[in-house]
Amino acid sequence: MPRDPLIGIVGKPSSGKSTTLNSLTDANAKIGAFPFTTIDPNRATGYLQVDCACARFGKQELCKPNYGWCTGGKRHVPVELLDVAGLIPGASQGLGLGNKFLDDLRQADALIHVVDVSGTTDAEGKATRGYDPVKDVEWLQDEIRLWIETNLKKRWGSIVRRHTATKSSIVDTLRAQFGGYGATASLIARAVDSIDNLPPLEEWDDHWITTMVKHFMMFKFPTVLALNKIDHPDADKNVSKILLKYPDSRAVLTSAITEVFLRRLAKQNYIKYEEGTEFIDTLEDVGPGSDLRPLDEKLLQRIETIRDLVLFRFGSTGVVQVLQEAVKVLDLIPVFTVRNIQTFTGSSGTSVFRDCTLVKRGTTVSKVARSIMGEVTIAAIEGVDGKRISATDTVDIGTNDILSFKVVPGGLTTSSA
């Protein structure tokens, strides 16, 4: 993934996509500068919470990220989010906003599927009661699959003829078909390898085409379920049904509306709220002498309800965790690059760990160097304590995740060398 990761937020209308997006994006956003170059209306910057390297060295006080922010060793790293609107039943046949969502979708590296588990919205997002949201989990996957499958089947005859005539491999043939979805050859190869007993492409019937598309989707659109509206009284039974039916799904329970509310109160200094946790402090809790503003009876009551219905029962509102889970399916880890490996500072000043990049676990340090520094000649790579690191060493959490690249002064670029 050479560019910054992009997480798509999908789900039927009124499931809570915008609320989820808002809950992940507005917090302290002014603190972090915006690192992304493309800005369009349905894109926003979310903040992924990771353990910052500063805490390993007791340097939390000196930690001042270039992008995002760090509080007490909890770092908020910017991640680009995309609101994929218009996905409704029948969208693959052009209903709703038609194929616009498909264009958005293909850019995403992972999806957060927001499912309304309150059962108060039907398949189209209209208000109802007792709707079974189990259907929504399947429906969205089916919609994406149908879109890909229909495109493939329309041309299947000529695809097979060309495949045979050019004596291509399955990966090469599928690369030509799936390239439009933003898939690389290695991703397609992994999808092909994951299918047992796959016959030669010439022998594929509808069953094999569907199987191939399903496996392709597992790799191209890894999905985390945000089981949203857990604050609703009907949510419990629906959550159990979904988890029972899909025990292997990656699911996180969320109450996006609660997160938005708590962050707003925290911003207005009515409460202290540690995002991603169950901890809220009001003036009542901390006592006079605090700079918190007093809450009226109604708001105090609402906070008590939130504590009872969401925070104490589920441990948090879940939205911080849902983004963490989406990044986890991509197997991305934070890598900290510093100019001075002894002090962890940048080129000037005393601030430490200014830069943090999300990198696929197991990437070689030379590849990390290239993706961060571009095509420059690296003279040496150093890790903690000035330890020399070989270009072929790989990164993991706690292993080669703090790096300093020594560039050849005035060095030729590797591409022109």
Candidates 229, 303, 306, 334: give the one binding ligand GTP (CB under 6 A).
Answer: 229
Candidates 232, 241, 360, 370: give the one binding ligand GTP (CB under 6 A).
Answer: 232
Per-residue mark of binding to ligand GTP, 183-222 (x: CB under 6 A)? ----------------------------------------
**Residue nearer to ligand GTP on the CB measure, 257 or 381:** 257
**Residue nearer to ligand GTP on the CB measure, 45 or 357:** 45
**Residue nearer to ligand GTP on the CB measure, 120 or 404:** 120
CB of 259 to ligand GTP, least distance (A): 8
- Written as one string, the DSSP assignment of 325-353 is HHHHHTTEEEEEE-S-TTT-B-SSSS-B-
Interior angle at CA 358, CA 366 and CA 369, nearest 5: 20
Among the candidate windows 136-144, 227-235, 261-269, 290-298, which touches ligand GTP by CB under 6 A? 227-235
CB of 22 to ligand GTP, least distance (A): 8
CB of 229 to ligand GTP, least distance (A): 4
Return the residues of window 7-26 that contact ligand GTP according to CB under 6 A.
11, 13-19
CB of 234 to ligand GTP, least distance (A): 10
**Residue nearer to ligand GTP on the CB measure, 317 or 363:** 317
Candidates 228, 238, 316, 337: give the one binding ligand GTP (CB under 6 A).
Answer: 228
**Residue nearer to ligand GTP on the CB measure, 17 or 76:** 17
Residue pair 118/234 in contact (Cβ under 8 Å)? The answer is yes
For residue 227, list its beta bridge partners: 115, 253
**Residue nearer to ligand GTP on the CB measure, 229 or 263:** 229
Report which DSSP code applies to 40.
-
- Written as one string, the DSSP assignment of 311-323 is IHHHSS-SHHHHH
Report which DSSP code applies to 271.
-
CB of 110 to ligand GTP, least distance (A): 18
Task: Specify the DSSP element, H or E, that contains 245.
Answer: helix 235-245
Give per-residue burial for 269-295: e unless 16+ CB within 10 Å, then b: ebbbbbbbebebebbeeeeeeeebeeb
d(CA 309, CA 316): 10
**Residue nearer to ligand GTP on the CB measure, 318 or 346:** 318
Q: Is 231 in the site for ligand GTP (CB under 6 A)?
A: yes
Number of residues forming the site for ligand GTP (CB under 6 A) = 17
Residue type, 38: T
Beta sheet of 378-382, edge-to-edge order: 355-360, 332-337, 402-407, 378-382
d(CA 30, CA 47): 12
CB of 241 to ligand GTP, least distance (A): 18
Candidates 35, 89, 96, 125: give the one binding ligand GTP (CB under 6 A).
Answer: 125
CA distances from 149 to 4, 136, 199, 210, 213 (A): 28, 20, 18, 7, 7
Residue 361, token pair as written in the block? 């676990």
CB of 310 to ligand GTP, least distance (A): 9
CB of 97 to ligand GTP, least distance (A): 10
CB of 365 to ligand GTP, least distance (A): 41
Tokens 């060793």, located at residue: 73
**Residue nearer to ligand GTP on the CB measure, 278 or 396:** 278
Report which DSSP code applies to 69.
E
Residue 174, token pair as written in the block? 């599928």
For residue 147, list its beta bridge partners: none
d(CA 234, CA 237): 6
CB of 141 to ligand GTP, least distance (A): 17
Return the residues of window 233-262 that contact ligand GTP according to CB under 6 A.
255-257
**Residue nearer to ligand GTP on the CB measure, 254 or 404:** 254
| Burial status of residue 326 (CB atoms within 10 A of its CB: 0-12, 13-18, 19 or more) | buried
**Residue nearer to ligand GTP on the CB measure, 77 or 85:** 85
Summarize as ranges the residues that interact with ligand GTP (CB under 6 A).
Answer: 11, 13-19, 85, 125, 228-229, 231-232, 255-257
